[in-house]
Structure formats: C-alpha cells, structure tokens
Amino acid sequence: MLFERVVRPALFRIGSGDAETAHEWTLTRLAGLPPAAWRLLASRYTVRNPRTVFGLEFPNPVGLAAGVDKNGVALAAWPALGFGFVEVGTVTAHAQPGNPKPRLFRLRDSEAIVNRMGFNNEGAAALARRLERSVVTRKALTTDRSFPLGISLGKSKVTPLEEAVEDYLASYTLLRDHGDYFAVNVSSPNTPGLRSLQDRDSIDALLSALVGEKPILVKIAPDLTEAAIAELLEVCLARGAAGVIATNTTLARDGLAGADRVAGEEAGGLSGAPLTGRARDVVRFVHDETGGRLPVIGVGGLMSPDDAARMFDAGASLVQVYTGFIYHGPALVRRIASLKKGQS
C-alpha cells in the first residue's frame, strides 16, 4: 500500500503529470542506485519459484515486459525488484526517435495506458555496446545465474516492409551473444505496416532467417482473429519457434471507465485492465490450438495475483507485467511470483 498511497502519486506528479517524463525519470534513478540499494530491495522482493521453459531456467515466472527498459539502462534494478527475467527493447537496427510527443497517456480510472511510442530506441549497436561494457549490470544480472535476459526485436521505421527480414536479422546478429531469448515483435500498432508481418508468408520468412541457436518467440496482437492466429501458429511450429508471447497492446477501446473515454481516443495501443480478458483468451487459444507444444508467455492486463493465476490456468508458462507494475509496483511482482502451480 505504500507504493499506491505515496510512491505512485509522487511519480505521477513528475513533469506536471507527463507520463513519459515520469517514466524516464524513474529509469534514470533506478539506473543510479548503488549495489547496496539493490541488495536491500532484493531482500524484500526476491522470490524463488523456479520454472524451466524453452530450455532456460527462470528463478520465478514473472518477467518485465518489453517497453519499460527499451535501452537496457536499468538492468541491475529489475532482479532486485523481484522479477524472474527481463525483456529489453523493442530495439531496431537503426536508432530512431519514435513518434512525436506526447505519446504516452495514463487512463487512471481504467488502470490502463495508451502509447504510440513508435519503437523509440538507441539502436541495436548501442544496446550491444551497453550490454558488453556494463560490468556492474552484468554482475548484478548474474547474481542469480539463471536470470534470463530477453531482447525484443522490431523493424526500423525507415526500412521498407519488403526488407524487414534483413532489418530484423541485422539487429539479431549484433545482439545474439547478449540475449538468452529473442522476441520477434511484429504486433505493435505504432509502426506503419508492422502488423502485416504476422501474415503467413512474412512470418515464415522471418522465422526461417532467425531460428537457430537461441530461442526465438513471436509476439502477437490481441486483435487477430482465431483463424489468423491459427495460421501463424502453424508457421511457428513448422519453423521451430520456441514459443509465443501473447499479447501486445490492443487497438480496441472496450472496457474504459467513463472518465477515461476522452483520453482513450488518443491513437496508439491500449494496455492494462481493459485487456485482461482478451489477452487471457488468446493465451488459452494458443495453448489449446498447439496442444501445449508452444510455450506461451502471457502478458496483458495482469493487475492482480488473481489475474496472473487465471493466465497460468489458461496455459501460460510464464507471465510479464508492464502496466500492472506502473500502477501497483514491485509488491505485485512479488505476489504473482509467489503463486504456486495450480493455484487460482
């Protein structure tokens, strides 16, 4: 309750309430914490509840979703805040500023966020250099040797769709030695044309180029029909994808509180509580359609331990949080991480 009563209101006031300013301020402060602070936080929030999924050992099944720490600037903080893994990015082959600001909006009554960030990031080469040279970060990450690092890959905005495979492959080649698994993000609604890469031929070409020594997962949109998801899953199985991340943000605006309907009209992807049910339905469909052959990382609207328990019951092997963490802090991570298999 300390986070929700004191910390969150203070963070939400930073930058006169601008969500992106508060986000960047928080990342900078987390990145600057001394190791003693990490150890103190870890003593409060670390939970051991190991899972082994697609050949990797996770100290607990709760990850930080892509989009929070795009450039990997605060990596040492995440295990200290209770996460069992972290996914950085989405990163692109070319550095890019993203879409014009403002581009991140809180819908407080709905416990939701709308973003149209547009893959703003420093580029794959910069991330590779940071992961290579940041000795303190890497030591912190390997305090628990089984703390996996995922890297989310996206298409550069300047790259034509017909050259998407080469663009993803360029990022992967630069980062291959630094990630334990890679997520192919073809489902963000904020890069023009990107979602068309979920089509059979496009995802087949991407996976054909990328699947190899490291686990490759595909992140899908919640707005796909079941027929489209089934077609994508056929390709994932045929090409040897290690799993699926379900889901990305949604273009739908169902379930918003009345006070948030004006802000909800902002263009971009919606995350948070309104996505809870749809994300769970997609996870269940993926699990049932593949007979459990493709592990699923469930993400979307996990705002409570009960939401996470239902996601696990639907077939998720692991879960990720983003908006739930923004609204409820590290205590939510600890409570989800403490869930036992079959607990609901």
Query: Does 159 count as an annotated binding residue?
Result: no
Nearest to 22 by CA among 97, 98, 94, 104: 104
Query: Does 301 count as an annotated binding residue?
Result: yes
Omega of the bond prior to 247 within 30 degrees of 0, cis? Answer: yes
Query: Does 119 count as an annotated binding residue?
Result: yes
Query: Does 120 count as an annotated binding residue?
Result: no
* Residue 87 near residue 72, CB atoms below 8 Å: no
Residue 182 in tokens: 């890679």
Query: Does 54 count as an annotated binding residue?
Result: no
Query: Does 68 count as an annotated binding residue?
Result: yes
Query: Does 90 count as an annotated binding residue?
Result: yes
* Residue 123 near residue 92, CB atoms below 8 Å: yes
Which residues are CB-neighbours of 318 under 8 A, at least 6 positions away? 51, 53, 58, 61, 62, 63, 84, 85, 295, 296, 297, 298
* Residue 218 near residue 184, CB atoms below 8 Å: yes
Query: Does 185 count as an annotated binding residue?
Result: yes
Query: Does 117 count as an annotated binding residue?
Result: yes
Residue 290 in tokens: 């593949």
Considering 171, 187, 188, 271, which one is annotated as catalytic? Answer: 188
Query: Does 67 count as an annotated binding residue?
Result: yes
Q: At what angle do helices 200-210 and 164-175 cross, to 10 degrees?
A: 30
Query: Does 116 count as an annotated binding residue?
Result: yes
Position 12: which residue type?
F
Query: Does 323 count as an annotated binding residue?
Result: yes
* Residue 181 near residue 215, CB atoms below 8 Å: yes
Position 57: which residue type?
E
Query: Does 276 count as an annotated binding residue?
Result: no
Query: Does 121 count as an annotated binding residue?
Result: no
* Residue 150 near residue 141, CB atoms below 8 Å: no
d(CA 121, CA 126): 9
Omega of the bond prior to 90 within 30 degrees of 0, cis? Answer: yes
* Residue 196 known to be catalytic: no
Q: At what angle do helices 200-210 and 226-239 cross, to 10 degrees?
A: 30
* Residue 266 near residue 116, CB atoms below 8 Å: yes
Query: Does 5 count as an annotated binding residue?
Result: no
d(CA 149, CA 63): 10
Query: Does 248 count as an annotated binding residue?
Result: yes
Query: Does 193 count as an annotated binding residue?
Result: no
Query: Does 157 count as an annotated binding residue?
Result: no
* Residue 189 near residue 218, CB atoms below 8 Å: no
Catalytic residues: 188
Residues at the binding site for FMN are 66-70, 90, 152, 185, 219, 247, 272, 301, 322-323
Residues at the binding site are 66-70, 90, 115-119, 152, 185, 190, 219, 247-249, 272, 301, 322-323
Residues at the binding site for substrate are 70, 115-119, 185, 190, 248-249
